[in-house]
């Protein structure tokens, strides 16, 4: 079980955008400049208040004028911190749960230190152990200095700490400090930005963080859900352990691999090939339909025991439905989604767009870097069939879900 959590503030615990915009526009109005929209201010935040004000001012504004505008921003913001700011839904309950479980908590923000402390005291009094904002002489995030200071105060090994934030700056901070990076999707940045910046896992609701704190409980629950539906299951902490297990279980058999970034990241073609007759069209072998074992990954697994895949050509999902006597579906824990609806959402708006971008498809999602589904009708789309497997297919001797405690694939 994890022992500590470091949170970002703006966009993670609190929706502060309205009040930030109010302070920005108050400073701009003093200079007879047009106001900025909520969307513009959202794009400007993340690297400290001076950068926020610099971006809001006309390009080329002298440093001296930026400093004056920043001073006016600070004065106004200090008086209007809590006009529109609100905790995100589920955050107060999450902090209460963490307190009850004895989890150490901190806030690490690029917001002014005084404002950070004032906001935490107003909205979450006594709920957090450490609160640091921007301080003189301490580099801002993503520099890891302030994060490492928190780690030292906690006295907890880094592998037992989660860093939770909503921006690329936060994900970079976590990576620079050697912490597990948890991206939240309810904040100021899109999923694609978080994933591209190194997020180890994304969560869509605050309560999901509790499962990350005690992953063994989550894994037990997920395995039980699949086993109740008739699947067999296995769990391994690392991809190397999982690969060794799969090589043992398929030794001496003919194995066909379905298109999968996960399998590629695990080097399964090479590992399994030492003991088995392996074919994979990704390696130029052609697609084999008569193998004894079929192995692939999934776009999503629901915690209620369903497997979800979206496919374009159909050969990948076909193997999960018919032909092989044994089927292995191998997934990192990043593929887990709380419900079937969440799993479908993940397949459509996370996995499929990123695969389209990987394949350089002529689709809106690919052209936008795989950010989300645009429900297009493009001739190059790969979203042509969505398959939900509720239970092992009739005729299979073994249908196994293999979970790996790492981020793998899309």
Place of tokens 């806030």: 107
Whose CA is closest to 188, among 167, 169, 168? 167
Q: Which helix (H) or strand (E) covers residue 98, if one does?
A: helix 91-101
Tokens representing residue 359 in the block:
């394949």
Q: Which residue has the tokens 């923000």?
A: 109
- Three state DSSP letters for 236-251: ECCHHHHHHHHHHHCC
Q: Which long-range contacts (CB under 8 A, 24 or more apart) does 134-139 make?
A: 134/48, 134/49, 134/109, 134/110
Q: Sign (positive/negative) of CA torsion 108, 110, 114, 116?
A: negative
Q: Give the CA distances from residue 365 to residues 78, 265, 297, 379, in Å, rounded to whole numbers and listed in that order.
A: 41, 23, 22, 13
Q: In the structure encoding, which two tokens stand for residue 328, read together?
A: 């292995």
| Residue 137 falls in which region: left (phi positive, over 0), alpha (psi -120 to 50) or beta | left
- Structure tokens belonging to residue 367: 């052209």
Residue (of 67, 65, 31, 33) closest to 49 by Cα position:
67
Are the CB atoms for 160 and 189 separated by under 8 Å?
Answer: no
Q: How far apart are CA 357 and CA 368, in angstroms?
A: 8
Tell me if residue 67 is catalytic: no
C-alpha to C-alpha distance for 389 and 372, rounded to whole angstroms: 23
Kindly state the DSSP code that residue 36 receives in the 8-state scheme: P
CB neighbour list of residue 222: distance below 8 Å, 6 or more residues apart = 233, 301, 303, 305, 336, 403
Catalytic positions, written as ranges: 8
């Amino acid at each position: 079980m994890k022992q500590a959590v470091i949170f970002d503030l703006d966009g993670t615990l609190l929706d502060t955008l309205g009040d930030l915009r109010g302070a920005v526009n108050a400073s701009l109005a003093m200079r007879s400049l047009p106001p900025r929209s909520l969307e513009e201010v959202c794009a400007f935040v993340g690297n400290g208040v001076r950068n926020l004000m610099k971006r809001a001012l006309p390009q080329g504004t002298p440093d001296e004028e930026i400093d004056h505008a920043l001073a006016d921003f600070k004065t106004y913001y200090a008086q209007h911190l809590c006009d529109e700011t609100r905790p995100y839904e589920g955050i107060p309950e999450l902090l209460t749960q963490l307190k009850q479980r004895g989890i150490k908590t901190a806030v690490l923000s690029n917001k002014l230190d005084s404002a950070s402390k004032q906001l935490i005291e107003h909205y979450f009094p006594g709920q957090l152990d450490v609160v640091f904002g921007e301080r003189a002489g301490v580099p801002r995030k993503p520099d890891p200095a302030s994060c490492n200071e928190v780690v030292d105060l906690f006295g907890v090994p880094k592998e037992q700490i989660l860093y939770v934030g909503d921006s690329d700056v936060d994900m970079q901070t976590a990576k620079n400090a050697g912490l597990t990076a948890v991206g939240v999707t309810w904040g100021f940045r899109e999923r694609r930005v978080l994933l591209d910046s190194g997020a180890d896992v994304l969560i869509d609701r605050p309560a999901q963080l509790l499962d990350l704190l005690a992953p063994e409980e989550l894994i037990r629950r997920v395995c039980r859900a699949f086993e109740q539906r008739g699947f067999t299951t296995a769990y391994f902490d690392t991809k190397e352990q999982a690969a060794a297990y799969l090589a043992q279980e398929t030794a001496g058999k003919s194995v066909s691999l379905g298109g999968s970034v996960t399998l590629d990241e695990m080097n399964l073609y090479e590992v399994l090939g030492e003991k088995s007759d392996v074919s994979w069209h990704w390696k130029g072998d052609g697609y084999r339909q008569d193998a004894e074992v079929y192995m692939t990954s999934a776009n999503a697994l629901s915690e209620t025991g369903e497997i979800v895949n979206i496919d374009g050509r159909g050969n990948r999902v076909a193997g999960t439905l018919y032909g092989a006597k044994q089927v292995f579906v191998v997934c990192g824990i990043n593929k887990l989604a709380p419900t079937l609806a969440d799993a479908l959402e993940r397949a459509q708006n996370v996995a499929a767009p990123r695969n389209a971008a990987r394949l350089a498809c002529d689709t809106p999602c690919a052209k936008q870097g795989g950010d989300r589904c645009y429900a297009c009708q493009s001739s190059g789309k790969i979203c042509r069939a969505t398959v939900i497997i509720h239970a092992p297919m009739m005729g299979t001797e073994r249908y196994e879900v293999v979970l790996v405690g790492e981020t793998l694939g899309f």
